[in-house]
Structure 1
Amino acid sequence: MEALSVREYRNNLAASFTKADNGEQVLIRRKNEIYALVKVGREDLMITPELQARIDKAREEIKSGKCVTLKSSEDIDAYFDSL
């Protein structure tokens, strides 16, 4: 599929969104970069039960001190150097 220029995209916004709604790939070329118009479903913006469980676990680890605390740029440099 050929990418639309920004001008072509701007002049055909409704058609581009209709194509994306129908699952078609819409590519937009800006200078030397290519971008894709992608439909994002409501479920893609929600926290799944699995993600919530990971968040809860991370919060518990932080509360119990199972984390690394870095207070300065020197701490950050030392931490990354230790990896």
Structure 2
Amino acid sequence: MAVIQITSREFREKQASMFALADKGEQVVIRRRGKVSYMLTPVYEEDFVLSPELEERLEEGRRQYREGNVTTCTTKEELNKFLEAL
């Protein structure tokens, strides 16, 4: 599978065909002014689904936050000290 590289102008002109190629698994790289590149990647519904375990952990963190059971670090040094103690 070859990487398809196009400019942003070419992408605008050939959007539909570039999306179709990405949908088929081709790697499409869009160059912008020769300085920055972007990869066109399909995102599927299941990419946004959280596992029940992750949802539970997130809710536990929210509960701890609501109850004030958090550690606040106001400086970089405080944060480093906290992280090193973990």
- Please, what TM-score do these two structures have when normalized by structure 2? 0.75
Counterpart-to-counterpart distance in 2, 1:12 and 1:26: 12
Residue 39 of structure 2 corresponds to which residue in structure 1?
Answer: 36
RMSD: 1.7
> Does 2:56 match 1:53?
yes
- Please, what TM-score do these two structures have when normalized by structure 1? 0.77
Which structure shows the bigger proportion of residues in strand conformation? Answer: 2
- Give the unaligned 5+ runs of structure 1: 70-74
Give matches, 1:5-24, under 5 Å: 5-24=7-26
**2:7/2:30 contact within 8 Å kept:** yes
Identity %: 34
Counterpart-to-counterpart distance in 2, 1:5 and 1:56: 43
CA displacement at 1:63 relative to structure 2: 3.4
Residue 70 of structure 2 corresponds to which residue in structure 1?
Answer: 67
